[in-house]
Amino acid sequence: MRIPILKLKDYLLVSIQVELDDQTVLTFQEDLLDKIKATSAKGVVIDLTSVDMVDSFIAKVLGDVIVMTSLMGTKSVVTGIQPAVAITLIELGITLDNVHTALDLEQGISILSQLLEV
Amino acid sequence: MRIPILKLKDYLLVSIQVELDDQTVLTFQEDLLDKIKATSAKGVVIDLTSVDMVDSFIAKVLGDVIVMTSLMGTKSVVTGIQPAVAITLIELGITLDNVHTALDLEQGISILSQLLEV
């Protein structure tokens, strides 16, 4: 099962709307990095609006992929983190310190354009 | 298997990046119409860049969904139809007469905004 990655101008948009299992999230990590390279994308928005629950492995892989995109020179914004997911992340000790977040996809894109203007 | 539908401002974006089978495409039809109602979206872009092949059933369902969205008062643009898919559609006698098409997602969105300005 693959998570679709949309290219829109200089950005990649990802809306995770499937049940995340370990393999899906690892495939997604690889796909996203490959797609950044292939498209020379300047920014990524990962929308978690439809994700109701994460476990520690999935949270770690998602956290890692943000750091990886940043290593590749791309800005990332995570949007739509649900209350239950926010609670889980803190309980797991994952604070996503340097990750930009926003309420929804639109706001994520507008934050990205601000980040990329600077 | 569900095809993710992204809401971006007044538009819904759909990038079909999975193997389409009969059930998936029927579920998609229903999901898209529901989402149009739920979000009051004014326009839809359906991106077929990653679709390499369609059969007559899938082509018919996709054609139907465009007409349905139009009945609901929404403009739709289909983007990224691959050469092989275009050939299949014509061989099947499906000409998508009143459907707006464009090369990729970005152009689809710009056509939508033109359509909605008028």
User: In this structure, what token pair is assigned to residue A4?
Assistant: 């679709």
- The count of other CB atoms within 10 Å of the CB of residue A118 is 5
Chain A residue with the nearest C-alpha to that of B109: A8
Is pLDDT at A57 greater than 80 in this prediction?
Answer: yes
Give the helix/strand (H/E) hosting B77.
Answer: strand B75-79
User: What is the DSSP pairing of strand B100-102 with strand B75-79?
Assistant: parallel
Closest listed residue to residue A45, CA positions, set B33, B113, B13:
B13
pTM confidence score: 0.84
Instruction: Single out the residue of A31, A33, A37, A44 nearest to residue A77, CA to CA.
Output: A44
Per-chain mean pLDDT for chain A: 92
Q: Give A112's contacts in chain B (Cβ within 8 Å).
A: none
CATH of domain A5-117: 3.30.750.24
Position B114 scores a pLDDT of 92
Instruction: Say what the ipTM of the complex is.
Output: 0.74
Cβ–Cβ < 8 Å for B111, B78: no
Segments in chain B below pLDDT 70 = none
| Cα angle for residues B91, B106, B34 (degrees, 5° grid) | 75
Q: Which of B1, B6, B47 sits opposite A105 (nearest CB)?
A: B6
The residues spanned by each domain of chain A are 5-117
